Every structure is written in C-alpha cells, then in structure tokens.
Structure 1
Amino acid sequence: MITVLVVDDDPLVRSALGLMLGGQADVRVVGEAGDGRAGIAAAGELRPDVVLMDIRMPVLDGLAATIELRRRPDPPHVIVLTTFDADDYVLRALAAGADGFLLKDTPPPEILEAIRKVADGDPMLSPSVTRRLIQQVAPPDSSRSGQAQERLACLTEREHDVALAVGRGLSNAEIAAELYLSVPTVKAHVSRVFEKLEVTNRVQVAIVVHDAGQA
C-alpha cells in the first residue's frame, strides 16, 4: 500500500485528489495540509511514502517545504504540483530534491502512474524535462567541471554507466534493458550512485553528469 499526503492550499484540490485516490486498491491518502509548514508537520507524524506538494502556498511555500523535507532522515518522495509547467519554482523544487512534477490538470490515470513510479524509485521526469531543468538551474560552468569529474571518478565502471543513463533521464526499467541488468540490480546501483555523489534525487545526478561534460 502506497500512502500519500496531499499538501495544497485549495480545499477543492485536496478534496478532488482525495476522492480520486480513495478508490485505488494500492494507494491510500493518509492526510492533508493547507500550507507547507502544516505539510511538514503532517509528514513527520504520518510518515507517508509520497507527498503531493503544491508550490504556491501561504505560511511556507512548497519549495521551502520540499527542501526541509528532503533534509530529514528517510524522507518521503515528493511530487510537486503546479499550474504552469514553466514555473521557476517547480524547476528549483526539483533541483532541491523533489522526485517529479505534475500539472494540476494532469489526467487522473497519469497522476496515479506518477505516484506508483515515484514510490517505486523511478523518476517522474522525461529526458526533455531533465534537459530543460539542467539548462535552467545548472548552465555551463567550467569551474564546476573538474569537481564533477572527480565526483564521477569515485564510481565503479557499472555505477558510472548507470549514472550516465540516469543523466539521460532513463527510468530504472529502461536502464535495466539497456545495460542487460535486472531492475533490482539497477535500483541498487542507483542507490550507491546517490550515496557516493552525495545527492538525493536523479536530477542532481543529471546535473553532475552535465557539469562533467558527459551528458
């Protein structure tokens, strides 16, 4: 069972998401909150697997709330919600540690797919979104290139292959098919890449690969 916390300042959005997710056998909404600060408190109490996080909210916005959640031990997966796909807050939230983003008019089946994928450790980012994100938050900078190359050098050959594939926006299943590995093996490699590069999500891996000139 995947447990979900909905954080949005619009009660109608919270209600709609609750009704939609409530009919699923494998997904359960365990709570909701109307601002980022309340969302952080609820996440600490309820320990959800996935948080659906609005961006523009009172008291504490979704960007700041996402950053704070990702700094905690064993944090939940975070999918940010927005009205605009070009919203700079979304790009910054993803770079800060969110696992993906959804537009608020996303069809219900796609929202469910995103929740399931993120809960399973896969990204909710297409390669085109990953490239756009990197262009926004990590423009070319030669001063970072050497440092990024040193960070990648600490990886084993197989971990390096996996990191490059993550940098291209591939899912675990796609990496498994490309490298002739099982999905559980890919997940283990991704976890070690996160640990060695000291990052919290796949976008940050992509930024390191990009900075190293290996994208």
Structure 2
Amino acid sequence: MAVKVLILEDNPVARSFLCRVVRESFSDTIAITEAGDLESARAQISLTGGASGLHGVDPFKLILVDLELPDGNGMELLSELTQYPATKIVTTLYSDDDHLFPALQCGADGYLLKEDRFEVLVEELQKIVRGQPPLSPAIARRLLTHFRSGGRADRAAPDSGFSTSPDLLSTTSAPVPIGKVPDHERLTPRESEVLTYLSKGFTIKEIASLMGIKWFTVNDHIKSIYKKLNVSSRAEAAVLATKQGLV
C-alpha cells in the first residue's frame, strides 16, 4: 500500500518542487495529494477520518504545510491536527522567530525552508526515517542560538513523536515518572518490541526492516509509546520501561 502524503502549498511551481523532493526522499511507494489552500486541505483530511475523527481509513502519514495561504495561515491547520496521526512539517520561506516558534508550538514536527537546495531538502526529509527531526540548517542554527542565549525553552514545540532526544528543542528533560503504569496504558506487544529495539539504538528505518513493517508505522508506535509512558525521548522511555519491567 502506498504511503499517503499531503502537500499544502498555494504556489504551483513550489508545489511541484516539493512533490519531487518527497518522491526523491523515500524508497516507499508514495501517493501525493496536492492542495492549494486550507479549504482543499481540510476537505482531503476529512476523507481520511477528519482532524479528530477515526483514523482507520488510511490517513495521511506525512503532511507538508505552507504558512501563508490564500484563505488563512498554515498554523491554523497545524493546530487542528494535533491528534492526527501524521508527521507534520512546515515548508516556508520564513526563518524568523515569529514564524518558527509559533509553528513548533502548534505541533509542527519539522521546519524546512523552501529556498534550500533540492539535495538539502531531500537529506532533511530523509532524517525522518533515522528518527531525527527535519530542520533546515539555518533553522537548526537558530534554535541552538536561541537556547544557548537563554531563550525560553517553553516556547518550543511539544514532543513530535520522533525517537531521538529532543535536546535541540529543549534545554531540560521532562521528569520521568516511576509509578506503575495502569493496565489500560500498558504497551501492546508490538509497542514493546519497538521499544526494545529503540533501547538498543536501532533507527526507525532499521526497526521497520527488522519487524517487516513501514517506517511510518514504526513512527506511529513510537508516538504511542511516548504518550503511554509520558516521556519525550528514547532514553527516558528505555529507562522507565526497564524499571517497570515493560520490556
């Protein structure tokens, strides 16, 4: 089954460029849906269960979101999709703090600049399968500068579900609870298997290969693991799981 991708971009030339970037970035069979405005994007999402509806109807696994659109701002859609099971990445020309941090707060899992070279964007998108947040080099530098200069860490985004430590976006780690996990929040066998591989240092792509599943599916399992264990990195998840005998 093809991996479904939604690209929200009002400029036809930029949209075509991003389609090429996506197809070049992943070895999976990709099915791309294009939208030129918020209304069209919402209509497509409604066909896959809606922003907060049922997701058993083959939802999008990757969504690229432009910020400035004819009928609003892409951050509106990001805010609506906080519960939607997809990796959401901003693709924009804006690299300033006034756009970067609000986008992360709205739930963006990555932030890419469309002005970057084709090869750079492909490399950044490929980081998803390695468990790393896709960030344009200029954005990564801006984040480092912000936090090194004493910027407020709470302006950064909540955990995106990536398997790597969120040190780039946060100056401190969330406390790890050590109480017993309620039965209804215990990990499924598949999630336990993913967590075991994570604790051993395997990347998302390697885990997918070992388990015979898509890397997007592995990423979904990781998001569920983080939510159930109330952690924000693979290190925290592995420590807590060991303490509680979950793996």
Q: Deviations over 1:50-83 (max 9, x none)?
A: 11110111323111101111233xx211110121
8 A Cα contact 1:101 1:124, kept in partner: yes
Q: What TM-score results when the alignment is normalised by the length of structure 1?
A: 0.60
Mapped to 2, the partners of 1:54 and 1:8 lie a distance apart of: 5
Q: Structure 1: state its 5+ residue gaps.
A: 140-147, 157-175, 206-215
Following TM superposition, where does structure 1 have runs of at least 4 consecutive aligned residues deviating by more than 6 angstroms?
186-190
Mapped to 1, the partners of 2:112 and 2:47 lie a distance apart of: 25
**Correspondence for 1:93:** 103
1:106 partner SS: coil
Mapped to 2, the partners of 1:193 and 1:127 lie a distance apart of: 27
Mapped to 1, the partners of 2:223 and 2:60 lie a distance apart of: 22
**Correspondence for 2:73:** 61
Q: Give the C-alpha shift of residue 95 in structure 1.
A: 2.1
Mapped to 2, the partners of 1:190 and 1:20 lie a distance apart of: 25
8 A Cα contact 2:38 2:74, kept in partner: yes
**Correspondence for 1:15:** 16
Alignment-mate amino acid for residue 91 of structure 2: L
Alignment-mate amino acid for residue 138 of structure 1: D
2:72 partner SS: coil
In structure 2, the CA distance between the partners of 1:54 and 1:114, relative to structure 1 (3 Å rule), is: same
In structure 2, the CA distance between the partners of 1:23 and 1:118, relative to structure 1 (3 Å rule), is: closer
Q: Structure 2: state its 5+ residue gaps.
A: 49-58, 156-173, 181-197, 208-217, 237-247
8 A Cα contact 2:100 2:111, kept in partner: yes
Q: Give the C-alpha shift of residue 7 in structure 1.
A: 0.3
**Correspondence for 1:138:** 154
**Correspondence for 1:82:** 92
Q: Give me the CA root mean square deviation.
A: 3.9
Alignment-mate amino acid for residue 109 of structure 1: E
Paired positions, count:
169
Q: Deviations over 1:144-194 (max 9, x none)?
A: xxxx64xx33489xxxxxxxxxxxxxxxxxxx6xx754344x977775333
In structure 2, the CA distance between the partners of 1:51 and 1:12, relative to structure 1 (3 Å rule), is: same
1:135 partner SS: coil
Q: What TM-score results when the alignment is normalised by the length of structure 2?
A: 0.53
Judging by fraction of residues, say which structure has more helix: 1
